[in-house]
Amino acid sequence: MVSPVPRAGGRGSSLSHTLTDLLNGAGLGKADTIRITGSAGLAALLWFCRHGYEQVGYVGACRGSSEEGDLLLVPQTCSVGDLEQILRSGPRPKHGGVLIVQTPQPPSESAVDPVHELLARAGYEVERCLHGRHRELHVARRRAQAELKMAA
């Protein structure tokens, strides 16, 4: 038996609520500039447009963007290597902006989360990490220039 599709104006999906809660928790609203990258970007772009976000755009993962947004969303699950490539040469949020990315869950024997370590080295501070069955969802804020100079 197929479960019914929620009707417009109803409660909506739990994924929609989760994303809305993440955005609100990170201080992001409908007036903020949102950039989406990666292979699952189209579905995310449509979600934002359907929910009234007007400053939303897709940027390619292999090239930096001349316009840094308040949020960079990487909606597909990406490996640590893929994330490292995006951090090195892909788009990024402005200083003080937010990166939301999902990665495979690290092995349970790992003492330190390799994604958190990578994000810290790249100038991000992880504010929130949600653990699923096989994936983690990371919300990280890009540190300001002054903080990066002090850390160096």
Q: What is the DSSP letter of 38?
A: S
Query: Given a cut of 90, is residue 90 above it in pLDDT?
Result: no
Strand-strand pairing, 124-131 and 135-142: antiparallel
Residue 71 sits in which domain range? 14-151
CATH number at residue 107: 3.40.50.150
Residue 8 lies in a domain: no
**The token pair that represents 65 in the structure block:** 């963007």
pTM assigned to the model = 0.83
Total domain count for the chain? 1
Report pLDDT digits (tens) over 3-53: 333 334 445 567 788 889 999 999 999 999 999 998 889 999 999 999 999
| DSSP of 48-108 | HHHTT--SEEE--TTS--SS-EEEEEEEEE--HHHHHHHHHHS--EEEEEEEEEEEEPPPT
**The token pair that represents 20 in the structure block:** 């809305």
Residue 60 lies in a domain: yes
Confidence grade of residue 66 (pLDDT, cut at 50, 70, 90): low
Residue 126 lies in a domain: yes
Averaged over 105-116, what is the pLDDT? 83
